[in-house]
Amino acid sequence: MVYAVIGAGMIGSAAARHLAEAGHDVILIGPSEPDDKSKHTGAFASHYDAGRITRGLATDPFWAQASQASIARYRQIEADSGISFYNDVGCLLAGPKDATHLQDVGRVASDLHIDAEHLSQKDMQNRFPFFAFSKDDIGYFEAKNAGTINPRALVAAQIKLAVAHGAQVLRTEAQALRETVSGLVIETTSGDIEADQVLVAIGGFAPTLIDDLNLRVYARTVALFEVSESEARRLHNCPSMIYLDQDGNDPYLLPTIRYPDGKVYLKLGGDPDDRHLAPHEMTDWFQSSGNPDVGAHLEAQMRARMPDLQIDSVTTNACVTTFTDTGRPLIRRHSERISLAVAGCGAGAKCSDELGRLGAETLLGRALPAWASQ
């Protein structure tokens, strides 16, 4: 039995690893990261970055449990692959004490026994003096098993381990699927590939292969704030942080991360502009540097949240988030031979290993655990 995974990103590479380590015949299909994104005309992946937040704290128990399962395997994946990707610096979720989503975080933390401190505004200001908080703010701080991951490095680790257990990696792009009497054919830019079962794990690009998916793909802009080496040292104990306000907005901040250009940046996301992208618009969006107006909005937010931050430069970049109507990913059978593991709903990176495992279980025809089937 040949299992093909389309999408060599965070979820797809994880699915391939889980399948290969279980002894299955696996083909992982997906292009490499382009050298120059402005000239790349094909599909893009979500992991072309050096920073994503990870934590158990969440407003929905599904995401909390998926994250906890993934985080529990991070160190073993690092050890087995020899690739480091996890920085255990902690994560703070803060906001007005009467913000609905922050109250949800408290309930989920209590129900799932997540080890998180409940902090007053004074507590947060004393513990994290580089942040500015309003007098009615409170927070939940997860000091352990939370922080940041390098998504590029995590994908590299997943693929390295999948290959070590016999998986094939084909650096090509899937263009169409054809189900046959005995199996299916995957049409790619490099020719046809035959398989018995396929897992589609290409996020917002999934409608290019399956046209009846009810997904919403939004353009997102993130901002990177370059800081000096001395400023990075001053912020050495800064955690990742998400601010949940009363209007449902949730800007997120990643602490100092060294990017491939050798420079150190803080990253801020939380695009207030829900610009819907059709499949044919996605490549053009990824080729861009995002929305400059959103970039200015994010810079103002950063300067308000960290008023003492010494910023050397600000750059912006484009990404997307893919949502379902339920706020949870599509991990299910689509047909007799095609399964899905798509739509991280803005939370997929931190728990991609578990989402990939659930996708692999679905591909194998196994039932998902009760918490993931709700």
Q: In angstroms, rounded to a whole number, what is the distance separating the alpha carbons of residues 188 and 304?
A: 48
Q: What are phi and psi of 358, to 5 degrees?
A: -65, -35
Residue 373 pLDDT > 80: no
Q: What is the mean pLDDT of residues 114-134?
A: 96
Q: Residue 237: which of 143, 155, 331 has the closest Cα?
A: 143
pLDDT one-digit tens code per residue, 142-168:
999 999 999 999 999 999 999 999 999
Residue 58 near residue 145, CB atoms below 8 Å:
no
Please tell me the predicted confidence (pLDDT) of residue 182. 86
> Which residue bears the tokens 């998400």?
242
Least confident of 8-12, 83-87, 243-247, 255-259: 243-247
Q: In angstroms, rounded to a whole number, what is the distance separating the alpha carbons of residues 283 and 146?
A: 32
Q: What are phi and psi of 149, to 5 degrees?
A: -125, 155
Q: In angstroms, rounded to a whole number, what is the distance separating the alpha carbons of residues 120 and 298?
A: 25
Q: In angstroms, rounded to a whole number, what is the distance separating the alpha carbons of residues 68 and 116?
A: 13
Q: Which residues pair with 28 in a beta bridge?
A: 5, 169
What DSSP line would sit under 312-372, residue for residue?
A: SEEEEEEEEEEE-SSSS-EEEE-SSSEEEEE--TT-TGGGHHHHHHHHHHHHTTPPPPGGG
Enter the tokens of residue 54.
């990870």
Q: In angstroms, rounded to a whole number, what is the distance separating the alpha carbons of residues 305 and 170?
A: 44
Which residues touch 304 (CB under 8 Å, ≥6 apart)?
132
Q: Which residues pair with 27 in a beta bridge?
A: 4, 168
Enter the tokens of residue 351.
């728990």
Residue 43 pLDDT > 70: yes
Enter the tokens of residue 234.
């001053």
Residue 140 near residue 119, CB atoms below 8 Å:
yes
Three-state SS for 174-232 is EEEEEECCCCEEEEECCEEEEECEEEECCHHHHHHCCCCCCCEEEEEEEEEEEECHHHH
Please tell me the predicted confidence (pLDDT) of residue 13. 98
Q: What is the mean pLDDT of residues 191-204?
A: 96
Q: Residue 357: which of 7, 9, 2, 13 has the closest Cα?
A: 13
Q: In angstroms, rounded to a whole number, what is the distance separating the alpha carbons of residues 300 and 304?
A: 6
User: Mean pLDDT for the chain?
Assistant: 95
Which residues touch 302 (CB under 8 Å, ≥6 apart)?
223, 225, 253, 266, 268, 309, 311
Least confident of 39-43, 83-87, 193-197, 260-264: 39-43
Please tell me the predicted confidence (pLDDT) of residue 272. 85
- Residue 264, classed as helix, strand or coil, is strand
Q: What are phi and psi of 77, to 5 degrees?
A: -65, -40
Q: What is the mean pLDDT of residues 9-16?
A: 98
Please tell me the predicted confidence (pLDDT) of residue 374. 56
Longest dimension (CA), the chain: 66
Q: CA 105, 266, 99 angle in degrees (round to 5)?
A: 25
pTM for the model? 0.96
pLDDT one-digit tens code per residue, 294-325:
999 999 999 999 999 999 999 999 999 999 99
Identity of residue 268: L
pLDDT band at 38 (very low <50, low <70, confident <90, very high): confident
Q: What are phi and psi of 286, to 5 degrees?
A: -65, -30
The percent of the chain in helix, strand and coil, each rounded to the nearest 5, is: 35, 30, 40
Residue 91 near residue 347, CB atoms below 8 Å:
no
